[in-house]
Chains A and B, each alone.
Chain A
């Protein structure tokens, strides 16, 4: 009987090995195409293909074009428009890419034989730190040194404000961590729990078939576990889109703070 190892599904293995390149400062960099990289490429390919086909210029849109425009409209209306406001327009491509890339990776992780790239902490951290750095760069470019007013609560007596400032700074600096961990944890948890129920289906099923007497109840447990997988998979589809949306929405919230700094948005 195969060993039950819920973490085996997260293992990285090389699909197309590439010789490591020597890079100054960080040392050897292995750019082999792993299963994780492969699924990122697949997600990017699906998105690019879909939008090449769907982003037509018809006045009366077909189904694909309507779907592409709906996605665009949702991000434009709810995320950049709704959270940042009129100044959010320039960030629309970034937020749209972020949302669609994460959502596609999440859904690919649910596909049979798929690999959950967003359950790789390295990837979620990369996206989170990138978002964090973009927020800081946008903040500095837009506001100059006024960017640091972000940590200075307005309308507060000075001594109290000085006390609150470290808390503000810490809560700001911890953002990439929470952003990365939230997505990573949700995807990891969902896949581990689904795996465990799947192992119950097999384990209890075999137990029920081979055992005698009361052991046949194992079949009932197997059936219940199977129904749980169906329910969990449904839930995971919701989570896949929800977590992508949450990531994009938080990126918007962070951008809003620096874009509308001092504008009382």
Chain B
């Protein structure tokens, strides 16, 4: 490809002539070989070292992010389950407390009702005995009234007539007056 004579002639010719030095074919083989060798070395470095390393790192990062998101999701679900359990326990406790409270209220009400009935019965008894006593007293008083009336009638008869009235007559007269 290279003709030494041509190479000798072309190199100085290109210096001053102002033509394109790139077309000086004598400079091509060395550049081509070096370009390919350097490219091949770079390619091996990238293919064997850099690209696998970067790809692994990116893959690891994606796995890590996915794992972390999975962990977070799992923890959230666990926390939610705990929360639900706590809420259920709370509701149960509240229902139980409600039941105890209503039972206590019913018991207290029954007790109060019983005590009230007892008291009412006692009061009724007191009342009826008092009424009996009042009726007795009244009957007694009413008996005294007739005696007083007889006495008063006798006294009045005696004062008016000067004669003693007979008790049986007074009695009869009182009966007549009462009727």
Chain A interface (Cβ < 8 Å from any Cβ of B): 5, 7, 10-12, 26-34, 36-37, 40-41, 44, 47-48, 51, 55-59, 61, 65, 68-69, 72-73, 92-94, 96-98, 100-101, 119-123, 125-127, 130, 184, 188
Contacts and interface: CB of A to CB of B under 8 A. Distances in A.
Contacts of B3: 27
Contacts of B133: none
Contact of B42 (A11, A59, A101): A101
Contacts of A29: 2, 29-30, 33
B4 A96 contact: no
A97 B36 CA distance: 12
A6 B94 CA distance: 95
12 contacts: A5-B18, A10-B21, A27-B3, A29-B30, A34-B27, A37-B34, A40-B34, A73-B58, A97-B46, A121-B22, A122-B31, A123-B32
A33 B56 CA distance: 37
Contacts of A184: 22
A51 B22 contact: no
B140 interface: no
A120 B34 CA distance: 13
A31 B30 contact: yes
Contacts of A56: 57
Interface residues of B, number: 44
A-B residue pairs, 5 tightest by C-beta? A93-B47, A122-B31, A122-B28, A126-B32, A121-B22
B2 A27 contact: yes
Nearest to B41: A44
A188 B22 contact: yes
Contact of B33 (A11, A31, A121): A31
B80 to A, nearest CB: 29
A233 B41 CA distance: 31
A48 B27 contact: no
Interface in B18-52: 18-24, 27-36, 38-39, 41-43, 45-47, 49-51
B138 interface: no
B115 interface: no
B1 A7 contact: no
Contacts of B28: 122, 125
Interface in B149-179: none
B98 interface: no
Given A37-B31, A48-B45, 17 more contacts: A7-B20, A7-B21, A12-B21, A28-B2, A28-B4, A29-B33, A33-B34, A34-B31, A37-B38, A40-B34, A48-B42, A55-B49, A73-B58, A93-B47, A97-B46, A97-B47, A122-B27
B10 to A, nearest CB: 11
Contact of B60 (A5, A59, A96, A98): A59
Given A10-B22, A121-B23, A123-B32, A69 B54 contact: yes
Nearest to B43: A97
A30 B55 CA distance: 39
A40 B33 contact: no
A224 B33 CA distance: 42
A59 B27 CA distance: 47
Contacts of B42: 44, 47-48, 97, 100-101
In this complex, which of B28, B34, B47, B53 has the most chain A Cβ atoms within 10 angstroms of its Cβ? B34
A59 B65 CA distance: 9
A162 to B, nearest CB: 37
